[in-house]
């Protein structure tokens, strides 16, 4: 059993891809928030809009899948 995954370049690459994925996810969420006619965070937290929370959750999952597929290749 080899421990190739412990090499610093592999760990650094994984961390870099994770950071890139999180940044892309965050930017895409901000873009979606800007193009909607209302503030998503205010609507979710203050008005407790469950239907919007489900839609935003599905959007987050789909953006996450797209980012993961783009990074994985």
pLDDT at 65 over 80: yes
- Classify residue 16: in a domain, yes or no: no
Q: Which residues contact 33 (CB under 8 A, 6 or more apart)?
A: 39, 40, 41
Share of the chain above pLDDT 70, in %: 96
- Classify residue 3: in a domain, yes or no: no
Domain that holds residue 66: 37-73
Output the average pLDDT for the chain.
85
Confidence label for 73 from pLDDT (cuts 50, 70 and 90): low
- Classify residue 20: in a domain, yes or no: no
Q: Which residues contact 11 (CB under 8 A, 6 or more apart)?
A: 5
Confidence label for 1 from pLDDT (cuts 50, 70 and 90): low
Number of folded domains that form the chain: 1
- Classify residue 4: in a domain, yes or no: no
- Classify residue 69: in a domain, yes or no: yes
* CB 52, CB 44: distance < 8 Å: yes
């Amino acid at each position: 059993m080899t421990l190739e995954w412990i090499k610093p370049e592999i760990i650094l690459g994984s961390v870099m891809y994770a950071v890139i994925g999180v940044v892309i996810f965050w930017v895409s969420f901000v873009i979606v928030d800007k193009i909607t006619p209302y503030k998503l965070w205010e609507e979710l937290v203050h008005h407790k809009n469950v239907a919007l929370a489900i839609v935003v959750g599905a959007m987050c999952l789909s953006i996450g899948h797209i980012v993961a597929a783009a990074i994985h290749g």
